[in-house]
Chain A
Amino acid sequence: GAGVSQSPRYKVAKRGQDVALRCDPISGHVSLFWYQQALGQGPEFLTYFQNEAQLDKSGLPSDRFFAERPEGSVSTLKIQRTQQEDSAVYLCASSLYGSGGSPLHFGNGTRLTVT
């Protein structure tokens, strides 16, 4: 079956531009996570959705970051006025349930480069 799909795979943005990153989770998965991954590091939590409700956005680095999942399926991570420090891989993951006992299914990520 289809896995988690993220688009675009690569995005180059000039500093100050807005970007939107899309995530199509596995159908029927209740939980959706966004992570940021720097080179050589593990994923860093950004935000968590249960269906359409954003239950935790404590990891979003600043108010320039915004995420939504309006119909409880596709999610978009938006970054306004991009800065060089936003350059990273952004990973989306979904799981059937929301507990730590439910394995995460990851997309291949979007590599964002801000020049």
Chain B
Amino acid sequence: SQQGEEDPQALSIQEGENATMNCSYKTSINNLQWYRQNSGRGLVHLILIRSNEREKHSGRLRVTLDTSKKSSSLLITASRAVDTASYFCATDSDMDSNYQLIWGAGTKLIIKP
């Protein structure tokens, strides 16, 4: 079953603009991860944020986590054509087995040149 829900489902922006994607989840968690998937490829891990963290940065990526609202956001700054991909959040519930990740349906991001 899917716990995470990303929104928007699809996002199309001009190169150079910032892209923001959101993820909401239902149960309390230990960790939340973001992954990128290019068309026809596997998923690539981007960033992991723990439940006791509020913000994390990696290059042009910024992730925030609000456990009170059970939501996270992924911000990509100064977008480039190579950022065109689908982005997924995945959570591990602190009530279930700790290896199980629950995935959202993803946000499809298109960067227009």
Contacts and interface: CB of A to CB of B under 8 A. Distances in A.
Nearest to B10: A40
B13 interface: no
Contact of B30 (A45, A101, A104): A101
A42 B45 CA distance: 14
Interface string A92-106: 010000111101111
Contacts of A43: 43, 88, 103
Interface stretch (B57-65, B77-85, B92-100): B92-100
A98 to B, nearest CB: 4
Interface residues of B, number: 29
A34 interface: no
Chain B interface, >50% SS class: strand
Interface residues of A, number: 26
Given A99-B98, A101-B31, A101-B50, A42 B88 contact: yes
Contact of B31 (A42, A44, A48, A100): A100
A42 B98 contact: no
Contacts of B103: 42-44
B104 A91 contact: no
Closest 6 CB pairs of A and B: A100-B92, A106-B42, A42-B103, A103-B45, A98-B99, A106-B43
Given A44-B103, A100-B33, A106-B42, 7 more contacts: A43-B103, A50-B99, A91-B42, A99-B92, A100-B101, A107-B42, A108-B40
Interface of A: 4, 6, 31, 40-45, 48, 50, 55-56, 91, 93, 98-101, 103-109
